[in-house]
Amino acid sequence: MQTLLFTGPGGAGTTTVAAAAAVRAARTGRRVLLVSAEEPPAGTADDGVEVVRADPRSGLERLWAGWSGQLAAAVPDLDLPPATSVVPLPGAGELALLAALGRAAGSGADLVVLDAGPPAAATGLVALPGALRWWLEQALPTRLRMLGAVRTAAVRAGTVRRGAVDVALDGVPALEDLLGRLALADPGATAVRLVAVPRPGAAAALRRATTALAVHGQRPVGVLARVLPDPPAGAGGWWAARAAEQEAELAALAGVAPLETVAESPRAPAGAGALAALLPEVPVPAGAPAAPPLPAPERVEGGWRLALPLPFAERADVTLTRWADDLVVSAAGTRRSLRLDALLRRCVVTAGSLAAPGTPAARLEVGFVADPQLWPADLLAAVAADTGGHTGGETGTDTGGTP
């Protein structure tokens, strides 16, 4: 399943653009699903687009209705509210979109067009599968999973009474199955397109969104800007000033990602035909979904270097920490924990720096050296000879600094 994700600030017309892309794709003969938390424009479904509304309230009610009965049976004295009285938690919107995408992944659709809302929400959605996996690992490490399996066997044998913890454990495989069907952080399976109105500050906001998406391994494939139509006869000074302002911002937007423009209209597009005419040809991602690989470590004098692309990042906005086998990167208001490969897990961090800050080529460069406590002596000697004699020193592990 391929996914085309649209995101843009409020008022940029992201929902309309996503609907237009879905209609265009459906007209090529593909089976297309449009997933959105908003009501799409009228006529979106006329050409075969299947519209999936991600409603967090109704989704939570369905989930609670399915699990509350099991909880009540496991803990008879627990006073549980009915589904119609459950209050959604913050972030329920992203969870509802994630659940809708999981269902779409098993639907046989050729393409899912995702209206992800504003950039902060879109970044949160891209980050959500990885964040949920991280929390599962913290809450249920291998030793607890083994104990859980023993307890489940005891419950089935009737030697242990089923309780609330067993209800929670029953839900873990379903959650892991859902996460396994999603590839939002894989640019080969999910293409991200930014939508904007070229007003002052638009490019700065999209640059920050690009940095935040890069933390999670994504990158936008293009920017779609809604521009003024041709000036009417007798247009005055306001139009000229606005056009000059627009041209300046369009030049800045072109520096974020490849730029396409769509002319503004005084009326919202009505019907599938008007939606299809709204956009130029919309590219979709190619290739089978695959887990996004980390950049490979590069051998350098004294050890190894790992470079993580963070386009447009600034030094003051980036922090780096090392925790156990993970490298934790924070930038542009978001954070990701990256599991290091087998080589770098046996190394210590010696340095972290941001190269080319504020530019499209900005990248976080992290230095590693072999940890003498984790490398066999003969192998350590070979590494020392190969890297000019330097294999260790202080750990250099950053505990929250700015590169």
Are both 224 and 167 inside the same structural domain? yes
**Residues 200-253: pLDDT tens digits?**
999 999 999 999 999 999 999 999 999 988 777 767 778 888 888 999 999 999
β 326-331/334-339 pair status: antiparallel
Task: Establish if 36 belongs to a structural domain.
Answer: yes
Q: Which amino acid is at 235?
A: A
Are both 237 and 341 inside the same structural domain? no
Task: Establish if 291 belongs to a structural domain.
Answer: no
CA angle, residues 168, 174, 179, in degrees to nearest 5: 115
* Residue 5: C-alpha distances to residues 207, 281, 304, 326, 358 (Å): 17, 15, 35, 28, 25
Domain final position from 227, 259, 284: 284
Q: Which domain holds residue 334?
A: 298-401
pLDDT exceeds 60 at position 332: yes
pLDDT exceeds 80 at position 143: no
pLDDT exceeds 70 at position 397: no
**Total structural domains within the chain:** 2
Mean pLDDT of the chain: 84
Nearest partner of 362 among 225, 219, 183, judged by Cα:
219
Task: Establish if 152 belongs to a structural domain.
Answer: yes
User: How high is the pLDDT of residue 277?
Assistant: 84
**Residues 247-300: pLDDT tens digits?**
999 999 999 999 999 888 777 787 888 888 888 776 555 444 444 456 789 999
Higher pLDDT among residues 334 and 174, named by residue: 334
Task: Establish if 117 belongs to a structural domain.
Answer: yes
Are both 274 and 373 inside the same structural domain? no
Domain final position from 284, 309, 339: 284
Helices (H), 33-163: 56-74, 92-105, 119-139, 142-157
Are both 74 and 51 inside the same structural domain? yes
Contact 195, 8 (CB under 8 A): yes
Are both 27 and 173 inside the same structural domain? yes
Q: Which helix (H) or strand (E) holds 345?
A: helix 342-345
Task: Establish if 290 belongs to a structural domain.
Answer: no
Q: φ, ψ for residue 134 (rounded to 5)?
A: -60, -45
Chain centroid offset of residue 386 CA: 39
Mapped onto helix, strand or coil, the DSSP state of residue 317 is helix
Domain final position from 261, 284, 307: 284
Chain centroid offset of residue 296 CA: 21
Are both 309 and 272 inside the same structural domain? no
Residue 332's CATH number: 2.60.40.790
Are both 276 and 348 inside the same structural domain? no
User: How high is the pLDDT of residue 252?
Assistant: 95
Q: How much is the average pLDDT of 190-197?
A: 94
Task: Establish if 170 belongs to a structural domain.
Answer: yes
Output 371-380 pairs: Cβ under 8 A, ≥24 positions apart. Answer: 371/346, 371/347, 371/395, 374/346, 375/346
Residue 7's CATH number: 3.40.50.300
Are both 252 and 320 inside the same structural domain? no
User: How high is the pLDDT of residue 259?
Assistant: 93
Structure tokens that stand for 125 in this block: 């959605």
pLDDT exceeds 90 at position 367: yes
Nearest partner of 8 among 100, 120, 112, judged by Cα:
120
Mapped onto helix, strand or coil, the DSSP state of residue 349 is strand
Burial of 308 (0-12, 13-18, 19+ CB in 10 A): buried
User: How high is the pLDDT of residue 35?
Assistant: 94
Are both 311 and 207 inside the same structural domain? no
Task: Establish if 104 belongs to a structural domain.
Answer: yes
Task: Establish if 292 belongs to a structural domain.
Answer: no
Q: How much is the average pLDDT of 73-95?
A: 79
CA angle, residues 136, 142, 143, in degrees to nearest 5: 120
β 2-7/111-115 pair status: parallel
Are both 279 and 315 inside the same structural domain? no
Are both 231 and 349 inside the same structural domain? no
User: How high is the pLDDT of residue 266?
Assistant: 75
Edge-first strand order for the sheet with 334-339 is 334-339, 326-331, 319-323, 399-401
Are both 236 and 373 inside the same structural domain? no
User: How high is the pLDDT of residue 291?
Assistant: 44
Nearest partner of 403 among 351, 359, 358, 362, judged by Cα:
351
Query: What does pTM read for this prediction?
Result: 0.85
